[in-house]
Structure formats: structure tokens, C-alpha cells
Amino acid sequence: AQTVTQSQPEMSVQEAETVTLSCTYDTSESDYYLFWYKQPPSRQMILVIRQEAYKQQNATENRFSVNFQKAAKSFSLKISDSQLGDAAMYFCAYRSARYGGATNKLIFGTGTLLAVQP
């Protein structure tokens, strides 16, 4: 069974600095998707970034980028030029690329709570 591990329950970063959130996963599959979701305090969870396992190029979305290391099964999120609005719980998630109902369910990590210090 696939698992997703976020080993940092909490992290802190100074405004304008860069922070990296760690995520590792375990799978025997070769084709899958990885995601980072952001859940701000008392606000809706949103999808931040997505990576297809077959792509070697790391995904980027503005100030958010990932470091995808397939062999190491590592998928870290880098936030550049941190802003106060980046303070949130961040969840890493995995999904198989095979099609078939609940087999495509997202497997979430336990989350990393990011604080941004002014």
C-alpha cells in the first residue's frame, strides 16, 4: 500500500525568505501523480501544485516549486519570497495513475503547519 510521510509537523520562516517542506512517499508503481495542497486557517483547501511522475522537469507555480526525486521517492515544496498569506497547513498527496474508482483516491500526508514571521 502507498504511504505519504511528512516528517515536519511544524515549520517557521521569515517573511521574504525561502522555505522547503519535505515529503516522502512509498509506492511500487511507476506512474502516479503528486500534489501539494494548502489549507489556510479557517479557509478552503486549495491545490497548490501538481507533478506527474513521468515528467522529469520539476513543476513550478509562481513562487512555489517542487524538487521531485523519483528514485529517492521524495517530493519537497519550496516557497520563495515567503509572504504572510503563505501561513497555512500544507499537505502532500499521492495518487495512482491507474484508472479505477477508489484506487485513484488521494493518499494524504499528515501535514506541515507553516508559520510566517513578519
* Site for other proteins, rule CB under 8 A: 4, 33, 35, 42-47, 91, 93, 95, 99, 101-102, 104-106, 108-111
Taking the complex as a whole, the smallest distance from the CB of residue 42 to other proteins amounts, in Å, to 8
50: Cβ–Cβ under 8 A, 6 or more apart, which residues? 33, 34, 35, 59
Q: How far is the CB of 75 from other proteins (least distance, A)?
A: 15
For other proteins, which is the closer residue by CB, 85 or 101? 101
Closer to other proteins by Cβ: residue 5 or 60: 5
Joined grid coordinates for residue 7: 516528517
Q: Which is nearer to other proteins, 18 or 110 (CB)?
A: 110
Residue with cell 509572504: 83
- How far apart are CB 69 and other proteins at their closest, in Å? 21
Q: Per the structure block, which three cell numbers stand in for 114? A: 507553516
- Which DSSP string do the residues of 75-98 spell out, in sequence order? EEEEE-S--GGG-EEEEEEEEESS
Which of 81, 105 has the CB closer to other proteins?
Answer: 105
Other CB atoms within a 10 A radius of the CB of residue 50 amount to: 15
